[in-house]
């Protein structure tokens, strides 16, 4: 700036910045508009986990969101992290690859048990169904117990979802919209 200032006769001086009357909370709301909705949505998904575990995972999700991730990525990475994410005995969010039949076979019974269904879910991969078809059959099986499997749109080739009570499907979808996350009964 010094050289330009001398070349053009001192015309490059800027006035001091004006003080803003906006609070820090208002600035954070503007920068992270989905934070309250994301917190409520994460609490709804993690409702079956113990209080301390739920609080830890919600802090992880909000930290990821605060660092610049979009709400869906923050939720998925915060909860499904292999090292610091959810524990298997409190599984709330299921994530499998488009050919992750082995992972589904292992994780689906854990998810069913964690959501409170006493009956054991048994899946054997037969090779003829695609992952969306497997998940649709899983949803049909859950419907007999008053539960539904909701799919979360990650924008990738993985299938991520969670189980909710049948009477809470619409409420959960509305919470997801407030969080900036796309959720549906049908796979994406």
Over residues 32-52, the pLDDT tens digits come to: 778 899 999 999 999 999 999
Domain borders along the chain are 33-184
What CA–CA distance (Å, rounded) separates 159 from 129?
15
Give the confidence band of 9 by pLDDT, cuts at 50, 70, 90: low
Over residues 54-88, the pLDDT tens digits come to: 999 999 999 999 888 999 999 999 999 989 999 99
Place of tokens 């749109």: 153
What CA–CA distance (Å, rounded) separates 122 from 3?
75
Residue 180, sorted as left (phi over 0), alpha (psi -120 to 50) or beta, turns out to be: left
What CA–CA distance (Å, rounded) separates 103 from 120?
16
Over residues 151-162, the pLDDT tens digits come to: 999 998 899 999
Over residues 113-151, the pLDDT tens digits come to: 999 999 999 888 887 899 999 999 999 999 999 999 999
What CA–CA distance (Å, rounded) separates 59 from 185?
27
- Contact between 150 and 185 under an 8 Å Cβ cutoff? The reply is yes
Give the confidence band of 111 by pLDDT, cuts at 50, 70, 90: very high
């Amino acid at each position: 700036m010094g050289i330009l200032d001398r070349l053009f006769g001192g015309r490059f001086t800027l006035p001091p910045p004006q003080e803003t009357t906006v609070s820090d909370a208002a600035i954070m709301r503007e920068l992270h508009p989905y934070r309250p909705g994301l917190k409520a949505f994460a609490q709804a998904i993690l409702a079956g986990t113990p209080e301390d575990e739920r609080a830890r995972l919600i802090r992880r999700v909000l930290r990821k969101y605060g660092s610049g991730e979009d709400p869906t990525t923050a939720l998925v990475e915060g909860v499904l992290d292999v090292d610091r994410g959810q524990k298997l005995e409190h599984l709330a969010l299921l994530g499998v690859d488009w050919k992750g039949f082995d992972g589904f076979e292992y994780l689906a019974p854990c998810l069913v048990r964690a959501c409170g269904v006493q009956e054991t879910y048994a899946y054997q991969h037969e090779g003829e169904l695609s992952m969306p078809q497997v998940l649709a059959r899983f949803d049909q099986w859950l419907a007999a117990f008053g539960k539904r499997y909701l799919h979360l749109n990650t924008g990738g080739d993985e299938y991520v979802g969670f189980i909710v009570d049948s009477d809470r499907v619409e409420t959960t979808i509305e919470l997801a919209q407030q969080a900036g996350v796309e959720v549906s009964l049908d796979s994406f």
